[in-house]
A and B are shown apart, each in its own frame.
Chain A
Amino acid sequence: MSTQLKSFLRNYLQKRYMFSISIFTFIAIIMTQYILGNPLYSLFIIIFFLILLILKESSLMLLTLTLISITVFSTQLIDTLANLKESDINSLHYYQNTIQNVFTPNSGQEVLPQPVLQMLEIIETNQIEDYQLSDLLEKDPSIFQRISESAWPVRMSSTSKYFFITPNEIENYTACTMIGQSGETVLVVCN
């Protein structure tokens, strides 16, 4: 077999091989979308495929517009850009506030739930080193986890004599003495 023929055959097979892979992957993507519960997306790909077949000419513009449309409308792109714009403009416009927040100890605690802020205030006033939560407070993960991390290194301990309770629970802690209160949060000590 001549070298030319060999080269022609190799190129032909390579091209057919690559084309087969393309077609196989294309069908696999349509099937995967369907199996994963996105039949509309499968349909969209098939319709897009048919449009390209009908158009005959390669149009980079059509492809690019389709890709950009999918990116803009189906991902969180707009939300991200809006968030970035808001944060960057705020940071620049009120840059002194931003810098002040960045370099102030304990700044940013306002994001914590109100009962947690009250507990932090009581901890600071009474200078306690450990505490427990009443059953009611402990059941609420937004209080349990938030006070655990925000009060750290003041630790939650099952052996502590200090209990954070709500005013409704005072009757369960009659043997204890109230030593602090802030809003709807009460600190009692049980010896």
Chain B
Amino acid sequence: MSAINLVLLICLSLASFIGQGWLLAGPLLNGSLLHKKRGNHLLQEIPQLILTGMVINYGLVLVLHSLEISLFTSLLLGFLGLLGYGISLFRYYRNRIPSTATMNKGLGAVFVCLLFLGPIIGKPLTDWDARSIWFFHAKMVFTAGAFSQNAGWQDAVVKMFSHPDYPNLIPTLAAQVAQLVGFWNEYLPKLSLFFILVPAITLLFSFARRSLSFFLLVLLLLFSINPYFWNGYMDGYLALYFAIAILFMGKYVQKSQPIDLTTSICCLLILPYLKNEGMLAVMVGGMLIPFIILFYKKSIKLHKPLSKNWNNCLYWLILLLPIAIWFFYKKQWGLVNGLEVGSAESLARLVNRLGDGSIKTIFTNIGNQVDVSLLLLGVLFSATVVWKKFLPVEMIPAVFAAFIYCIGMIVVYLMTPYDLSWHLHFSIQRTLLPVIYCLYVASYYLYSQIEAALITDYIYFGGKLRWKKSKTSY
């Protein structure tokens, strides 16, 4: 085996996801398997196809059970889809070439993806939850050769510590990688992390501009949480995709391009496949989207009745189908969540903790996590108030998302059956990442607005080292 095999494995897998994604997104979002819709940005379309392909692939594993048969089916469907996508791309780009900006952004995304490939495949699985939960599930599926009841989900020892009710998109991908090469080790299955990281980085680079705000966005979203993109935990990916969904929601508020809303929803719908907290994130996103459509975009097509958007709705429903199948299996196999959220006992605990001062402990812990993100936002608001700049409307979804998600997490902690201090100590630095990331997104939009206003003044009114006071103030 050589580096070429590794490159081939990565390319083949990503191409297969793109192909499978196109089989669904082609007819439903583009109207045909052989025609690409005008105006869909490649850097948004390809990651969306990869994510859709991953979900379809996961759905196939859930339905067909056997890893071997599902792999073969996925590859076959991927090949067919890729053929269709290739033809549509050829037709679309026959008389035009992608812009230099798109190619530069694409190259930037590839470079950053490769930066993360080193630690992903170069470091073995060491961290606790990665070994005890996510990649243990992958090993269970791989050794059973099938995603079925026999994989060991109901084993007493597994139930004791491995949370078999957790979502299994990444573990399934890891099991498939191991199935492809025919063995298990502590390095190669981590390639599944790379597959889920590639669309996120590409989507992030669709925001690329020659600006400090984009530089700051990349630093904050990709490089500010040390090991979470390569240690096998899902929290970093959950936060990243939630932040990207909110970023695109903001972009949609700003530019009203339907592809932005579709991308945002696609990123939201991938969240329940990553972690159980993804359900909370989807609920938050689900609250924000109708709000945005009703208050900001009264004239757009998506506001029209369901009948005119049946294709979008069907696409989103199909994206949710595999997770529904997993919920069905969980019920059939008797896999329940340890947090018992929503049970009578959990509600009783919530009421008790509201009165016993636990909320103060939770606030202190939250304060230790969101301090830096709030500091960034505070500094930017200082500048906005003093320099009398407009508040960008696109930051509103981010602020609301952070707030609602934080409330949701507080409720979860108030309901926890575990010792609160222990639970907070071992999890809050990970579970609050989506809140922190949403505040980073809000900071990005605010900074971007200030930067644009000041640079416009610099261009129009001249300036030396310090930019002149803005004319685009109140």
What residues make up the interface of A, taking CB atoms closer than 8 Å to B? 15-16, 18-19, 21-23, 25-26, 29-30, 32-33, 35-38, 41-42, 44-45, 48-49, 52-53, 56-61, 63-64, 66-68, 70-71, 74-77, 79-81, 83-84, 87-92, 95, 98-99, 101-111, 141, 144-146, 148-150, 152-153, 155-156, 158
By a CB distance below 8 angstroms, the chain A residues around B226 are 76, 79-80, 83
6 additional contacts (CB under 8 A) given A21-B391, A67-B376: A25-B391, A45-B381, A53-B386, A79-B226, A107-B124, A153-B144
In the complex the two chains form, is B378's CB within 8 Å of A41's CB? yes
Decide yes or no whether B121 CB sits under 8 A from chain A.
yes
| Chain B positions within 8 Å of A42 at CB level | 378
Interfacial chain B residues near A66, Cβ < 8 Å: 379
Please state if B119 and A88 are interface contacts (CB–CB under 8 Å): yes
Interface check B225, CB cutoff 8 A: yes
Whether A106 contacts B121 by the Cβ 8 Å rule is no
Within 8 Å CB of A144, what residues of B? 161
Contact of A152 among B2, B143, B161, B469 (CB under 8 A): B143
Q: Which B residue's beta carbon lies closest to that of A38?
A: B371
Chain B residues near A99 (CB-CB < 8 A): 1-3, 6
Residue of A16, A60, A79, A153 ringed by the most chain B CB atoms within 10 A: A60
B139-156 CB contacts (< 8 Å) to partner A: 139-140, 143-144, 152, 155-156
Determine if B367 and A67 form an interchain contact, defined as CB atoms under 8 angstroms apart.
no
Contact A156 B157 (CB under 8 A): yes
Q: Interface on chain A toward B: helix, strand, loop, or mixed SS?
A: helix
Interfacial chain B residues near A150, Cβ < 8 Å: 131
| B317 interface residue (CB < 8 Å to A) | no
Cβ contact within 8 Å between A33 and B156: no
A58's partner among B220, B465, B468 (CB-CB below 8 A) is: B468
B209 at the interface (CB under 8 A from A): no
B123 within 8 A of A: yes
* Contact yes or no, B224 A103, CB < 8 A: no
Known A21-B391, A153-B143; judge A37-B364 contact (CB<8 A).
yes
Residue B14 at the chain A interface, CB threshold 8 Å: no
Cβ–Cβ < 8 Å partners of A80 in chain B = 223-226
Q: Are A77 and B223 in contact (CB under 8 A)?
A: yes
Cβ-defined contact, B152 with A15, below 8 A = no
Q: Could you say which residues of chain B place their CB within 8 Å of the CB of A59?
A: 466-467
What residues on A are CB-neighbors of B156 within 8 Å?
A: 158
Q: With A and B bound together, what is the CA distance between A76 and B112 in angstroms?
A: 18
With known contacts A21-B391, A107-B187, A108-B185, A36–B122 Cβ distance under 8 A: no
* Nearest 9 interchain pairs by C-beta: A108-B186, A36-B367, A108-B124, A103-B1, A88-B118, A105-B183, A87-B119, A45-B378, A75-B224
Interface size on B, residues (CB 8 A): 89
| Contact between A33 and B122, CB atoms less than 8 A apart | no
Bound-state CA distance A81–B370 (Å) is 21
What A residues does B125 contact at CB under 8 A? 108, 111
Q: Which residue of A lies closest to B369 (CB)?
A: A36
> Of B188, B220, B223, B227, which one neighbours A102 at CB under 8 angstroms?
B188
Alpha-carbon distance between A27 and B391 when the two chains are bound, in angstroms: 15
Return 9 A-B CB contacts under 8 Å, by A number.
Answer: A15-B474, A35-B363, A45-B378, A58-B470, A70-B379, A102-B6, A103-B6, A108-B124, A149-B162
The residues of B that contact A35 with a CB separation of less than 8 Å are 363, 367
| A87 to B126 Cα, complex, angstroms | 15
Nearest-CB residue, chain B, relative to A19: B474
Which of B20-28, B77-85, B446-454 is found at the contact surface with chain A?
Answer: B446-454
B455 located at the interface, meaning its Cβ lies under 8 Å from any Cβ of chain A in the complex: yes
A179 CB → nearest B CB, Å: 22
Determine the chain B residues whose CB is within 8 A of the CB of A61 once the complex forms.
465-466
Q: Kindly supply a per-residue 1/0 record for chain B positions 221-252, scoring 1 wherever the CB is within 8 Å of any chain A CB and 0 otherwise.
A: 00111110010000000000000000000000
Contact of A111 with B374 at beta-carbon distance under 8 Å, contacts A71-B216, A102-B6, A102-B188 already known: no
Across-interface contacts of B118 in A (CB, < 8 A)? 84, 87-92
Distance between B338 CB and nearest chain A CB, rounded to angstroms: 15
Q: How far is the CB of A191 from chain B (nearest CB, A)?
A: 23
Q: Is the interface of B mostly helix, strand, loop or mixed?
A: helix
A52 to B466, CA, bound (A): 13
Decide yes or no whether B347 CB sits under 8 A from chain A. no
Pair B363/A106 contact, Cβ less than 8 Å: no
Q: Is the CB of A37 within 8 A of B367?
A: yes
User: Would you call B11 an interface residue if the criterion is a C-beta within 8 Å of the partner chain's C-beta atoms?
Assistant: no
Which A residues lie within 8 Å of B122 (CB)?
A: 87-88, 90-91, 98, 101
With a cutoff of 8 Å between Cβ atoms, the chain B residues found around residue A110 in the complex are 124
Q: Is the CB of A71 within 8 A of B220?
A: yes
Nearest CB in chain B: distance from A128 CB, A:
16
Bound complex: CA A45 to CA B183 (Å): 55
The residue from A70, A88, A101, A146 contacting B115, defined by CB atoms under 8 A apart: A88
Assess A84 versus B372: contact at CB under 8 Å? Given A149-B132, A155-B152: no
Q: With a CB–CB cut-off of 8 A, which chain B residues contact A146?
A: 131
Chain B residues, Cβ within 8 Å of A76: 224-226
Contacts of A155 in B (CB 8 A): 152, 155, 157
Q: A23-B385, A91-B118 are in contact. Are A60 and B374 (CB under 8 A)?
A: no
Residues 382-397 of B, flagged 1 when their CB comes within 8 A of A and 0 if not, give: 1111111011000000
Q: Are A102 and B140 in contact (CB-based, < 8 A)?
A: no
Give the chain A neighbours of B316 by CB distance below 8 A: none
How would residues 193 to 232 of chain B score, 1 for a CB under 8 Å from any chain A CB and 0 otherwise? 0000000000000000000100010011001111100100
Indicate whether A26 sits within 8 Å of B382 (C-beta atoms), given known contacts A99-B2, A102-B187: yes
Q: How far is the CB of A100 from chain B (nearest CB, A)?
A: 8
- A60→B455 contact, CB < 8 A: yes
The minimal Cβ–Cβ distance linking B296 to chain A, given in whole angstroms, is 15
Which of the residues B2, B157, B385, B467 comes within 8 Å of A22, measured between beta carbons? B385
B332 within 8 A of A: no
A23 to B79, CA, bound (A): 56
Q: Which residues of the other chain, B, contact A81 by a CB distance below 8 angstroms?
A: 223
CA distance in complex: A184, B312 (Å): 61
